[in-house]
């Protein structure tokens, strides 16, 4: 294998990519050439305009994490960050005050916004920013078009009984503590895959859906018209790793998002949600569940998706690399073999 493509969100996707890169460097990925390339196709629907600046949380989390600029405690934003601008904005009473814009992070948004306003597409902006950060993977926005995830929540004061908030307000200000009635992906139907996205899937030797949010991260990428078709058509095996362990998400808000689209919060249910590639619209050849969900392996296999139960906690780079190796073994071995 020389070309591995990963469809990823923010923190979960970035951690998986760190482990995959570690496994590549250590030579512990079976059948993967030492000079293999990793392409990360990142979700851009968490993006938002704030204070006149374009903020791309998932692209930045992958770029900072792999470029060693991330604050690993928070999992987002820059290490050694300061918050003077945020404090000054608050002193002026400028909203929103609930979103943490750090001084160092602001430089990224200023550069990106200047380039976008000069006419560069997000893909070229991302390439330029990565020249500084050298993430060691090719980082592609899923689309150069504007797509935003908005969440409808209950609002007794509104005539419809609902109010729609941007995903970031749902996640950061509301801490995903209110039920999501429905999730809308503004602009998704009109979006086209970013430069290199379809080729990164159709020309891959392996495509991985890491344990990112299956609805608002991986799901959004698959929702870009043309991406699902590319996943269906690629000669590469497509393998996913369950973001749900023991009936709940490890981090983030996958549980709330799955519930809002009527999908059971289970490792097997997510696999069936993505569907077997042999089924119309399905994308998966194989699916890894955590050992705690070993009882769901048969259910996933019955859906036409190869499945194995392995440790799925990304506790460190070596553990994550082992997860990637198990995924590769699952799609490289004949059916029924252990991963
Ligand atoms: N997450 C938070 O929980 N609180 C924040 O104040 C916050 C600010 C922020 C600023 C820039 C950025 O790139 C990410 C930021 N995030 C913050 C994380 C972000 O909400 C998530 O990374 C994704 O959107 C969800 O995966």
Q: Please state, as a whole number, how many other Cβ atoms lie within 10 Å of the Cβ of residue 175.
A: 10
- Residue 17: pLDDT band (50, 70, 90) is very high
- Residue 337: pLDDT band (50, 70, 90) is low
Distance CA 50, CA 55 (A): 7
Q: Enumerate the domain spans of the chain.
A: 3-45+189-332, 48-141, 148-186
- Residue 335: pLDDT band (50, 70, 90) is low
Q: What confidence score (pLDDT) does residue 145 get?
A: 98
Q: Note the pTM of the prediction, 2 decimals.
A: 0.97
CA of residue 278 to ligand 1 center, whole Å? 37
Q: Would you say residue 309 has pLDDT above 60?
A: yes
Class of domain 48-141: mainly alpha
Q: Any residues with Cβ below 6 Å from ligand 1, and which? A: 9-11, 46, 55, 57, 60-61, 76-77, 99-101, 105, 168, 171-172
> What is the number of the ligand 1 atom nearest to the C-alpha of 102?
10
CA of residue 100 to ligand 1 center, whole Å? 7
Q: What confidence score (pLDDT) does residue 334 get?
A: 61
Contact predicate 201/230, CB 8 Å? yes
Candidate of 64, 76, 215 to mutate for ligand 1, largest count of ligand atoms within 8 Å of Cβ? 76
> What is the number of the ligand 1 atom nearest to the C-alpha of 56?
13
Which whole number is the average pLDDT over 196-205?
A: 98
Q: Please state, as a whole number, how many other Cβ atoms lie within 10 Å of the Cβ of residue 235.
A: 8
DSSP run (H or E) holding 114 = helix 103-117
Token code pair at residue 55: 């903020």
- 123-156 confidence digits (pLDDT tens): 999 999 999 999 999 999 999 999 999 999 999 9
Q: Which residue's CA lies nearest to atom 14 of ligand 1?
A: 57
Tell me the average pLDDT of the chain.
96
Whether domain 3-45+189-332 has CATH 3.40.640.10: no
- 238-294 confidence digits (pLDDT tens): 999 999 999 999 889 999 999 999 999 999 999 999 999 999 999 999 999 999 999
Which whole number is the average pLDDT over 20-42?
A: 97
Distance CA 339, CA 328 (A): 8
Q: Which residue's CA lies nearest to atom 4 of ligand 1?
A: 172
CA of residue 275 to ligand 1 center, whole Å? 30
Q: Would you say residue 333 has pLDDT above 80?
A: no
Cβ neighbors of 308 (< 8 A, separation 6 or more) are 286, 288, 289, 297, 326, 330, 338, 339
- 174-197 confidence digits (pLDDT tens): 999 999 999 999 999 999 999 999
> What is the number of the ligand 1 atom nearest to the C-alpha of 10?
26
Q: Would you say residue 338 has pLDDT above 60?
A: no
Q: Would you say residue 234 has pLDDT above 60?
A: yes
């Amino acid at each position: 294998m020389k070309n591995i493509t990963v469809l990823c969100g923010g923190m979960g996707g970035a951690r998986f990519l760190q482990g995959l890169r570690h496994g590549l460097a250590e030579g512990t990925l079976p059948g993967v050439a030492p000079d293999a390339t990793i392409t990360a196709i990142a979700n851009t629907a968490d993006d938002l305009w704030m204070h006149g600046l374009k903020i791309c949380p998932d692209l930045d989390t992958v770029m900072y994490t792999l470029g060693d600029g991330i604050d690993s405690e928070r999992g987002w934003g820059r290490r050694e960050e300061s918050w003077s601008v945020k404090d000054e904005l608050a002193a002026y009473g400028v909203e929103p005050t609930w979103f943490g814009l750090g001084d160092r992070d602001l430089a990224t948004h200023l550069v990106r916004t200047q380039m976008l306003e000069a006419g560069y597409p997000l893909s070229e902006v991302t390439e330029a920013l990565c020249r500084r950060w050298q993430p060691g993977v090719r980082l592609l926005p899923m689309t150069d078009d504007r797509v935003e995830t908005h969440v409808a929540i209950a609002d007794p004061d509104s005539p419809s009984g609902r109010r729609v908030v941007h995903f970031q307000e749902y996640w950061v200000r509301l801490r995903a503590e209110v039920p999501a009635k429905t999730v809308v992906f503004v602009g998704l139907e009109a979006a086209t895959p970013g430069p290199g996205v379809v080729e990164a899937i159709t020309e891959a030797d392996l495509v991985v859906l890491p344990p990112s949010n299956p609805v608002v991260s991986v799901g959004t990428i698959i929702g870009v018209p043309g991406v699902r078709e590319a996943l269906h058509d690629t000669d590469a095996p497509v393998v996913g790793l369950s973001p749900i362990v023991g009936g709940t998400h490890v981090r983030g808000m996958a549980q709330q998002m799955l519930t809002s689209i009527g999908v059971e919060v289970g490792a097997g249910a997510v696999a069936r949600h993505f569907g077997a590639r042999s089924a119309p619209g399905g994308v998966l050849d194989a699916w890894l569940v955590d050992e705690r969900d070993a009882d769901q392996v048969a259910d996933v296999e019955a859906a036409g998706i190869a499945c194995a139960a392995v440790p799925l906690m990304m506790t460190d780079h070596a553990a994550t690399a082992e997860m990637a190796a198990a995924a590769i073994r699952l799609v490289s071995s004949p059916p029924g073999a252990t991963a």
